[in-house]
Amino acid sequence: MKKYYFTNGFYSPLRLFSNEKAKKYRNQLEDVESQIGPLHYFTKTYTMLKWVYDIATDKIILDFIEDLIGKNILLYNATFIIKEPQTKTYVSWHQDLTYWGFDNNQKQVSAWIALSNADATSGCMQMIPGSHKKGFFNHKTIKDSDNVLSRGQTVNNIDIDKAVSCPLKPGEASFHHGLTLHASQPNNSNDRRIGLNFQYITTDMKQLKSNDDSAICVRGEDNFNNFKKDIIAKEDFDEEGHKRLLERTEHYEKTIRENNINEL
Protein backbone atom coordinates (compact mmCIF):
# COMPACT_ATOMS: atom_id res chain seq x y z
CA MET A 1 0.00 0.00 0.00
CA LYS A 2 2.63 2.47 1.14
CA LYS A 3 4.97 1.59 -1.73
CA TYR A 4 2.13 1.94 -4.28
CA TYR A 5 1.23 5.35 -2.77
CA PHE A 6 4.78 6.71 -2.92
CA THR A 7 5.28 5.47 -6.48
CA ASN A 8 1.95 6.68 -7.86
CA GLY A 9 0.89 9.53 -5.55
CA PHE A 10 -2.37 7.80 -4.56
CA TYR A 11 -3.80 4.55 -3.21
CA SER A 12 -7.29 3.11 -3.81
CA PRO A 13 -9.44 1.43 -2.59
CA LEU A 14 -9.21 0.79 1.15
CA ARG A 15 -12.32 -0.44 2.98
CA LEU A 16 -12.96 1.55 6.17
CA PHE A 17 -16.47 0.50 7.18
CA SER A 18 -19.42 -1.50 5.90
CA ASN A 19 -22.00 -0.48 3.33
CA GLU A 20 -24.60 -0.42 6.15
CA LYS A 21 -22.52 1.98 8.20
CA ALA A 22 -22.01 4.20 5.15
CA LYS A 23 -25.81 4.26 4.74
CA LYS A 24 -26.19 5.26 8.37
CA TYR A 25 -23.72 8.15 7.95
CA ARG A 26 -25.45 9.21 4.74
CA ASN A 27 -28.82 9.28 6.57
CA GLN A 28 -27.28 11.43 9.31
CA LEU A 29 -25.91 13.82 6.69
CA GLU A 30 -29.21 14.04 4.82
CA ASP A 31 -31.12 14.54 8.04
CA VAL A 32 -29.04 17.67 8.78
CA GLU A 33 -29.34 18.80 5.16
CA SER A 34 -33.13 18.62 5.48
CA GLN A 35 -32.83 21.20 8.30
CA ILE A 36 -30.19 23.62 6.96
CA GLY A 37 -29.83 22.89 3.22
CA PRO A 38 -27.10 21.15 1.15
CA LEU A 39 -23.77 20.60 2.91
CA HIS A 40 -21.69 20.48 -0.26
CA TYR A 41 -18.28 22.16 0.08
CA PHE A 42 -18.43 23.57 3.60
CA THR A 43 -15.15 23.59 5.51
CA LYS A 44 -14.22 21.68 8.68
CA THR A 45 -17.53 19.87 9.03
CA TYR A 46 -16.22 18.12 12.19
CA THR A 47 -16.79 21.43 13.99
CA MET A 48 -20.54 20.80 13.51
CA LEU A 49 -20.91 17.00 13.16
CA LYS A 50 -19.32 14.72 15.70
CA TRP A 51 -19.65 11.60 13.53
CA VAL A 52 -17.41 13.24 10.90
CA TYR A 53 -14.68 13.57 13.55
CA ASP A 54 -15.24 9.92 14.51
CA ILE A 55 -14.59 8.82 10.91
CA ALA A 56 -11.54 11.11 10.60
CA THR A 57 -9.97 9.56 13.70
CA ASP A 58 -10.76 5.95 12.78
CA LYS A 59 -7.74 3.75 13.49
CA ILE A 60 -7.59 2.29 9.96
CA ILE A 61 -7.31 5.76 8.40
CA LEU A 62 -4.86 7.17 10.94
CA ASP A 63 -2.56 4.12 10.81
CA PHE A 64 -2.28 4.55 7.04
CA ILE A 65 -1.78 8.33 7.27
CA GLU A 66 0.93 7.77 9.91
CA ASP A 67 2.69 5.36 7.55
CA LEU A 68 2.74 8.10 4.92
CA ILE A 69 3.57 11.31 6.83
CA GLY A 70 4.72 10.26 10.29
CA LYS A 71 3.25 10.16 13.77
CA ASN A 72 2.40 13.80 14.53
CA ILE A 73 -0.75 14.47 12.56
CA LEU A 74 -3.20 17.38 12.27
CA LEU A 75 -6.63 17.07 10.73
CA TYR A 76 -6.92 20.22 8.62
CA ASN A 77 -10.24 19.85 6.85
CA ALA A 78 -13.29 17.66 6.20
CA THR A 79 -15.49 18.59 3.27
CA PHE A 80 -18.47 16.90 1.65
CA ILE A 81 -18.14 16.99 -2.12
CA ILE A 82 -21.58 16.19 -3.44
CA LYS A 83 -22.60 15.91 -7.07
CA GLU A 84 -26.34 15.79 -7.46
CA PRO A 85 -27.82 13.17 -9.87
CA GLN A 86 -27.71 13.97 -13.58
CA THR A 87 -25.83 17.25 -13.21
CA LYS A 88 -22.91 18.80 -15.06
CA THR A 89 -20.86 19.51 -11.93
CA TYR A 90 -17.25 18.38 -12.33
CA VAL A 91 -13.79 18.96 -10.80
CA SER A 92 -11.07 20.26 -13.12
CA TRP A 93 -7.53 18.82 -13.17
CA HIS A 94 -5.57 20.35 -10.31
CA GLN A 95 -3.08 19.87 -7.47
CA ASP A 96 -4.39 20.58 -3.96
CA LEU A 97 -1.22 22.08 -2.50
CA THR A 98 -1.28 24.96 -4.97
CA TYR A 99 -4.06 26.88 -3.22
CA TRP A 100 -4.21 26.18 0.52
CA GLY A 101 -1.46 28.68 1.43
CA PHE A 102 0.86 26.14 3.06
CA ASP A 103 4.64 26.22 3.09
CA ASN A 104 6.50 23.77 0.92
CA ASN A 105 6.84 20.87 3.39
CA GLN A 106 4.43 18.78 1.24
CA LYS A 107 3.73 16.31 4.05
CA GLN A 108 0.02 16.21 3.39
CA VAL A 109 -2.45 13.48 2.43
CA SER A 110 -6.12 13.61 1.45
CA ALA A 111 -8.47 10.73 2.23
CA TRP A 112 -11.65 10.63 0.12
CA ILE A 113 -14.40 8.47 1.58
CA ALA A 114 -17.43 7.34 -0.44
CA LEU A 115 -20.84 7.60 1.24
CA SER A 116 -22.56 6.57 -2.01
CA ASN A 117 -21.39 4.70 -5.08
CA ALA A 118 -18.55 6.53 -6.84
CA ASP A 119 -17.85 5.05 -10.28
CA ALA A 120 -17.34 6.09 -13.90
CA THR A 121 -21.05 6.94 -14.27
CA SER A 122 -21.36 8.99 -11.08
CA GLY A 123 -18.00 10.76 -11.56
CA CYS A 124 -15.40 9.07 -9.37
CA MET A 125 -11.94 10.54 -8.85
CA GLN A 126 -9.28 10.19 -11.54
CA MET A 127 -5.54 10.51 -10.86
CA ILE A 128 -2.40 10.88 -12.99
CA PRO A 129 0.09 8.34 -11.58
CA GLY A 130 3.51 9.78 -10.71
CA SER A 131 2.44 13.41 -11.18
CA HIS A 132 3.24 14.15 -7.50
CA LYS A 133 6.94 13.77 -8.38
CA LYS A 134 6.89 16.50 -11.02
CA GLY A 135 6.58 19.56 -8.77
CA PHE A 136 4.03 22.33 -9.11
CA PHE A 137 2.16 22.60 -12.41
CA ASN A 138 0.98 25.88 -13.86
CA HIS A 139 -2.72 26.44 -12.99
CA LYS A 140 -5.06 28.81 -14.84
CA THR A 141 -8.11 30.34 -13.21
CA ILE A 142 -11.05 29.44 -15.42
CA LYS A 143 -14.47 30.71 -14.39
CA ASP A 144 -17.07 27.98 -14.87
CA SER A 145 -20.09 27.62 -12.59
CA ASP A 146 -20.12 23.84 -13.18
CA ASN A 147 -16.64 23.48 -11.68
CA VAL A 148 -16.73 22.55 -7.98
CA LEU A 149 -13.41 24.34 -7.31
CA SER A 150 -14.11 27.85 -6.08
CA ARG A 151 -11.29 29.46 -8.11
CA GLY A 152 -11.75 27.17 -11.11
CA GLN A 153 -8.04 26.33 -10.88
CA THR A 154 -7.16 24.13 -13.83
CA VAL A 155 -4.09 22.46 -15.31
CA ASN A 156 -4.45 22.25 -19.09
CA ASN A 157 -3.05 19.75 -21.59
CA ILE A 158 -3.37 16.70 -19.37
CA ASP A 159 -2.61 13.40 -21.08
CA ILE A 160 -6.03 11.86 -20.31
CA ASP A 161 -4.84 8.44 -21.55
CA LYS A 162 -2.64 8.25 -18.45
CA ALA A 163 -5.54 8.91 -16.03
CA VAL A 164 -6.46 6.12 -13.61
CA SER A 165 -10.03 6.00 -12.25
CA CYS A 166 -10.60 5.26 -8.57
CA PRO A 167 -14.09 3.77 -8.27
CA LEU A 168 -15.26 3.33 -4.69
CA LYS A 169 -18.14 1.52 -3.03
CA PRO A 170 -19.81 3.16 0.00
CA GLY A 171 -17.47 2.80 2.99
CA GLU A 172 -14.27 2.65 0.87
CA ALA A 173 -11.58 5.34 0.65
CA SER A 174 -8.90 6.57 -1.71
CA PHE A 175 -5.82 8.54 -0.61
CA HIS A 176 -3.88 11.11 -2.62
CA HIS A 177 -0.85 13.36 -2.22
CA GLY A 178 -1.30 17.14 -2.47
CA LEU A 179 0.74 17.32 -5.68
CA THR A 180 -1.04 14.47 -7.47
CA LEU A 181 -3.00 15.74 -10.47
CA HIS A 182 -6.63 14.70 -10.07
CA ALA A 183 -10.10 15.51 -11.38
CA SER A 184 -13.61 14.08 -11.64
CA GLN A 185 -16.32 14.10 -14.30
CA PRO A 186 -20.08 14.87 -14.02
CA ASN A 187 -22.54 12.61 -12.25
CA ASN A 188 -24.64 10.88 -14.91
CA SER A 189 -26.22 8.45 -12.44
CA ASN A 190 -29.62 8.72 -10.73
CA ASP A 191 -28.16 8.91 -7.22
CA ARG A 192 -26.18 11.60 -5.41
CA ARG A 193 -22.40 11.08 -5.49
CA ILE A 194 -21.32 11.87 -1.94
CA GLY A 195 -17.65 12.05 -1.01
CA LEU A 196 -16.26 13.05 2.38
CA ASN A 197 -12.82 14.48 1.86
CA PHE A 198 -10.33 14.72 4.78
CA GLN A 199 -7.03 16.56 4.68
CA TYR A 200 -4.21 15.60 7.03
CA ILE A 201 -0.96 17.52 7.50
CA THR A 202 2.05 17.23 9.78
CA THR A 203 2.22 19.37 12.93
CA ASP A 204 5.20 21.34 11.56
CA MET A 205 3.25 22.58 8.50
CA LYS A 206 3.00 26.38 8.29
CA GLN A 207 0.12 28.43 6.93
CA LEU A 208 1.68 31.36 5.07
CA LYS A 209 -1.49 33.19 4.05
CA SER A 210 -3.38 33.54 7.34
CA ASN A 211 -2.65 33.96 11.05
CA ASP A 212 -6.07 32.66 11.95
CA ASP A 213 -6.10 29.20 10.38
CA SER A 214 -7.06 26.20 12.49
CA ALA A 215 -6.65 22.42 12.68
CA ILE A 216 -6.78 19.72 15.33
CA CYS A 217 -4.12 17.25 16.43
CA VAL A 218 -5.50 13.73 15.90
CA ARG A 219 -2.38 11.67 16.58
CA GLY A 220 0.94 12.24 18.31
CA GLU A 221 1.83 15.66 19.69
CA ASP A 222 1.68 19.17 18.34
CA ASN A 223 4.83 20.91 19.60
CA PHE A 224 4.63 23.64 16.96
CA ASN A 225 1.21 25.24 17.51
CA ASN A 226 1.26 26.75 14.03
CA PHE A 227 -2.55 26.47 13.86
CA LYS A 228 -5.32 27.53 16.24
CA LYS A 229 -7.22 24.55 17.65
CA ASP A 230 -10.50 23.67 16.00
CA ILE A 231 -13.44 23.09 18.33
CA ILE A 232 -14.86 19.63 17.75
CA ALA A 233 -18.63 19.15 17.72
CA LYS A 234 -19.95 17.40 20.81
CA GLU A 235 -23.16 16.41 19.07
CA ASP A 236 -24.40 15.52 15.66
CA PHE A 237 -25.75 19.00 15.01
CA ASP A 238 -26.42 22.14 17.02
CA GLU A 239 -26.65 25.89 16.44
CA GLU A 240 -23.23 26.65 17.93
CA GLY A 241 -21.64 24.07 15.65
CA HIS A 242 -23.45 25.55 12.66
CA LYS A 243 -22.04 29.02 13.47
CA ARG A 244 -18.52 27.53 13.72
CA LEU A 245 -18.94 25.85 10.36
CA LEU A 246 -20.04 29.07 8.62
CA GLU A 247 -17.24 31.12 10.20
CA ARG A 248 -14.51 28.58 9.32
CA THR A 249 -15.85 28.19 5.76
CA GLU A 250 -15.72 31.96 5.22
CA HIS A 251 -12.16 32.07 6.57
CA TYR A 252 -11.04 29.20 4.30
CA GLU A 253 -12.55 30.81 1.20
CA LYS A 254 -10.87 34.13 1.99
CA THR A 255 -7.48 32.38 2.34
CA ILE A 256 -7.94 30.65 -1.01
CA ARG A 257 -9.06 33.89 -2.74
CA GLU A 258 -5.90 35.63 -1.54
CA ASN A 259 -3.58 32.88 -2.73
CA ASN A 260 -1.91 33.07 -6.16
CA ILE A 261 -2.56 29.40 -7.01
CA ASN A 262 0.64 29.20 -8.94
CA GLU A 263 -0.49 31.17 -11.97
CA LEU A 264 2.82 31.54 -13.77
Using CB under 6 A, list all residues that contact ligand AKG. 81, 91, 96, 110, 112, 125, 182, 184, 195, 197
Measured from the CB atom, the residue of 32 and 194 that comes closer to ligand AKG is 194
Measured from the CB atom, the residue of 22 and 91 that comes closer to ligand AKG is 91
CB of 78 to ligand AKG, least distance (A): 11
CB of 83 to ligand AKG, least distance (A): 7
CB of 235 to ligand AKG, least distance (A): 27
CB of 119 to ligand AKG, least distance (A): 12
Measured from the CB atom, the residue of 110 and 117 that comes closer to ligand AKG is 110
The closest residue (CB) to ligand AKG is 184
CB of 192 to ligand AKG, least distance (A): 12
Measured from the CB atom, the residue of 126 and 222 that comes closer to ligand AKG is 126
Measured from the CB atom, the residue of 96 and 222 that comes closer to ligand AKG is 96
SS3 readout for the chain: CHHHHHHHCEEEEEECCCHHHHHHHHHHHHHHHHHHCCCECCCCHHHCCHHHHHHHCCHHHHHHHHHHHCCCEEEEEEEEEEECCCECCEEEEECHHHCCCECCCCCEEEEEEECCCECCCCCCEEECCCHHHCCCCCCEECCCCCECCCCCEECCCCCHHHCEEECECCCEEEEEECCCCEEECCECCCCCEEEEEEEEEECCCCECCCCCCEEEEEECCCCCCCCEECCCCCCCCCHHHHHHHHHHHHHHHHHHHCCCCCCC
